[in-house]
């Protein structure tokens, strides 16, 4: 028997709807990006984001169903992100999912956005879903490492104490007068660096430290630019990117080796960065490195629907009273 699920994602500034079969096969994956709406602000404006979600979500659902070749009556469950994220944005997706669940009398499954990002690596049968693994979540809103022991069983073992790594990329790009979002622009510009000097120190080098922090490197970049206004931007962003990504790599392997876990999954928007993938591969000494294709590193509905399949099979459903949460405070 095939199980068909519709997944909705609206935690930040992408509206997404996806139909997934049996938790892995993507039948459709439709995404509306709001980058053009937020570019002039060099960051996401919550009020603009939630309004844009509301305007496009119904059309995206229709498109996702049509592309998948299914109707509402073919759905076995409906899933939506309910944590963490911008509250107004989350409400649009979750309330839409509630309406569909009520109208069709099908199970509603509220999904942890962070767990779904890590699950994206296992869509389309690219990798066998096996536990445990060390999960690196790196994005504009989150930077953390988890020991993932099973579906719904994640232990946070390290996280940022200030900026997320993707947020630091955006802020450095803004200060240099580069386009938003900063990650792809910095990655591309860094390829033009010739000298490739390490202009900035390593971050949090004390042994045993499990934290991430990006406010210091961001300030170091700003101070360097102020002191060297004619410096080559390519050299600056190269040095910044190397230091920012080096901390991710150092931390994730330290956690994996301390816990004796050989499987590492990197996910989230920053995991699409080619330099990060190269550094992870180069640092591996017997560890298996897994990452979704770049298109599935960004927020998408396929990761929501795919993960929800496993909750559906365990009959772990949510009722219509389930609410949104800006943070993840507890397990499901």
pLDDT tens digit sequence for 40-92: 999 999 999 999 999 999 999 999 999 999 999 999 999 999 999 999 999 99
3-state secondary structure at position 95: helix
Query: Cα dihedral angle (97, 112, 317, 322), rounded to 10 degrees?
Result: -60
Q: Which residues of 284-302 are buried (b: 16+ CB within 10 A; e: fewer)?
A: eeebebbbbeeebbbbbbb
Question: What pLDDT sits at residue 262?
Answer: 98
Question: What pLDDT sits at residue 254?
Answer: 97
Question: What pLDDT sits at residue 329?
Answer: 54
Could you give the residue range(s) of every CATH 3.30.420.40 domain in the chain?
Answer: 4-122+296-313, 130-291
Q: Which of 53, 61, 19, 8 is closest to 33 using CA atoms?
A: 53
Cα-based distances in Å from 176 to 171, 187, 232, 243 = 9, 14, 11, 17
Contact 168/217 with Cβ under 8 angstroms? yes
Contact 5/315 with Cβ under 8 angstroms? no
Identify the bridge partners of residue 19 per DSSP, sorted by sequence position.
6, 28
CA distance 165 to 183: 9
DSSP 8-state secondary structure symbol assigned to residue 138: E
Question: What pLDDT sits at residue 36?
Answer: 95
Neighbours of 314 (CB within 10 A): 10
Contact 291/265 with Cβ under 8 angstroms? yes
Which residue is listed with tokens 């498109």? Answer: 63
Q: What is the pTM of this model?
A: 0.96
Render pLDDT for 189-204 as a digit per residue (tens, 0 to 9): 999 999 999 999 999 9
Low-confidence ranges of the chain (pLDDT < 50): 330
3-state secondary structure at position 33: strand
Question: What pLDDT sits at residue 176?
Answer: 97
DSSP 8-state secondary structure symbol assigned to residue 73: G
Pairing of β 4-9 and β 77-83: parallel
Query: Cα dihedral angle (9, 14, 17, 20), rounded to 10 degrees?
Result: -70
Distance between start and end Cα atoms, the chain: 27
Pairing of β 4-9 and β 14-21: antiparallel
On the CB side of 252, CA atoms within 13 Å amount to 35
Give residue 254's Cα distance to chain centre.
22
Q: What is the CATH number of domain 130-291?
A: 3.30.420.40
Q: Can you count the helices (H) and strands (E) in the chain?
A: 10, 10
Contact 105/77 with Cβ under 8 angstroms? no
Residues 6+ apart with CB under 8 A from 278: none
Q: What is the CATH number of domain 4-122+296-313?
A: 3.30.420.40
Question: What pLDDT sits at residue 112?
Answer: 97
């Amino acid at each position: 028997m095939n199980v068909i699920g519709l997944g909705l994602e609206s935690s930040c500034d992408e509206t997404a709807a996806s139909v997934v079969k049996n938790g892995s096969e993507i039948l459709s994956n439709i995404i509306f990006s709001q980058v053009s709406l937020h570019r002039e602000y060099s960051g996401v404006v919550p009020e603009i984001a939630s309004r844009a979600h509301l305007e496009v979500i119904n059309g995206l659902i229709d498109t996702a169903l049509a592309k998948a070749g299914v109707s509402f009556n073919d759905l076995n469950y409906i899933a939506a992100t309910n944590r963490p994220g911008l509250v107004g944005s989350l409400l649009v997706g979750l309330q839409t999912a509630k309406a569909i669940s009520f109208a069709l009398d099908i199970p509603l499954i509220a999904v942890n956005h962070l767990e779904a990002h890590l699950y994206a690596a296992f869509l389309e049968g690219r990798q066998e879903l096996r536990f445990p693994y060390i999960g690196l979540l790196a994005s504009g809103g989150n930077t953390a490492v988890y020991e993932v022991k099973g579906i719904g069983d994640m232990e946070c073992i390290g996280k940022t104490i200030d900026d997320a790594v993707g947020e630091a990329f955006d802020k450095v790009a803004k200060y240099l007068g580069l386009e938003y979002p900063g990650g792809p622009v910095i990655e591309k510009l860094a390829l033009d660096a010739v000298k490739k000097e390490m202009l900035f120190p390593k971050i949090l080098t004390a042994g045993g430290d499990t934290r991430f922090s990006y406010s210091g490197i961001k300030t170091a970049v700003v101070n360097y630019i102020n002191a060297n206004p004619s410096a080559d931007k390519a050299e600056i962003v190269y040095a910044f990117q190397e230091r920012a990504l080096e901390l991710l790599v150092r931390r994730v392997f330290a956690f994996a080796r301390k816990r004796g876990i050989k499987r590492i999954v990197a996910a989230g928007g920053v995991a699409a960065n080619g330099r990060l993938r190269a550094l992870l591969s180069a640092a591996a000494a017997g560890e298996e490195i897994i990452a979704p294709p770049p298109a599935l590193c960004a927020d998408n509905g396929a990761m929501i629907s795919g993960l929800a399949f496993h909750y559906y099979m365990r009959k772990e459903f949510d009722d219509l009273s389930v609410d949104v949460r800006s943070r993840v405070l507890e397990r499901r």
